[in-house]
Amino acid sequence: MSDPIRVLVVDDSALMRKLIPQILEQDGSIKVVGTAMDGTFGLKKIEELKPQVITLDLEMPRMNGLETMREITRRFRLPVIVFSAHSRNGARATLKALSLGAFDFVTKPNAAAAGNLQEIAGELALKIKAAAKAGFPKVMMEVLPARPKSTMPKVNRFRPPTRVIAVGVSTGGPNALEYMLSQIPADFSGCFLIVQHMPEGFTEMLARRLDESSMIKVREARSGEPLIAGQALICPGNRHIHIRRAATGHIVVLSETARVNGHRPSADVLFRSVAKEFGSQAIALLMTGMGDDGVDAIRLIRDAGGLTLAQDSGSCVVDSMPRSAVEHGYISRVISLEALPNFLYAQCPELEEESSEESSVTPGRLQ
């Protein structure tokens, strides 16, 4: 039997420093070797106790979580699970921590202040185990600054896309998406539909961050909007995203139906909808992430003649989602994160020049 995973808990709340070890040590494969009340003490404890994984609060006195994260990345390169507040500020800080090298995050439940952490115990333990196995993220892709959107050539606004790219992504996703989308040119004729496993509120902040670094338009999806070229739509947390053909063309439909594979949003839901609506014109991509969400439904896109892609293991933080699809034989091609932007751009034909007659066509119909 292997030794338990050594975990250090860094949190300014005395209650959290008591409760987090209690819930983690319900799992015999995890041992909390120490706690620290802020980043300054946390860094000293890392040197003394040699943990394999760190759980990190972000709102702390003296040295806060983001400053601590920078030091962990610079000095120790250990995997960190951020334990963040489910709030607007918490979402913003969490995304920043992920960009600095945090492995993943877990949001504090509403009942945390009352001492109830049981609802997140399983999730936290699962992510600690995955982090211990994966170690510090292997690939930290440099994101080049995008040109200001105001100086870009005009995208063919309100025109339907030539291809739809449905993306399922989880652990490691924010950084992988930022790299991929930041490299897509402004004249991109496709449309991305993205399911990133994140809570409500976090996806809005993610979309804003991705939009700031991208030449195409990135935002959170809204029910009833048409699919247009040169944009990426992020499914809101706690919703599923479907595509429906309407009188005006293909539109987004959001729903709150039951979780699928334990997730809402679920890549399986998106892939099934895209397979039905677009068939051979669809592209499905499974990127870095734990679990197997999207694996069953990506087969439907393959069977319909669409293109099915998987991010390669070497550029994933965790490769469970894409690897599972590869092992089932559902993937047409495995591609590195670095190669994905150019490959996807090449799969989307240029839009033809828009005539005066075409300019009056109602948007949303896939070509």
Report the catalytic residues: 170, 197, 293
Residues sharing a CB contact under 8 Å with residue 169, sequence separation 6 or more, in sequence order: 176, 177, 194, 195, 196, 197, 267, 286, 287, 288, 289, 321
Query: Which residue, 63, 97, 59, is CA-closest to 80?
Result: 97
Tokens of 314: 């070497």
d(CA 171, CA 176): 10
End-to-end CA gap in the chain: 57
Q: What are phi and psi of 104, to 5 degrees?
A: -165, -175
Q: Give 226's DSSP letter.
A: B
- Residue at token pair 């099915």: 308
Structure tokens belonging to residue 118: 């049981």
Instruction: Find all residues with CB under 8 Å of 50, minimum gap 6, and list them.
Output: 6, 33
Task: Give the number of C-alpha atoms closer than 13 A to the C-alpha of residue 40, restricted to the C-beta side.
Answer: 4
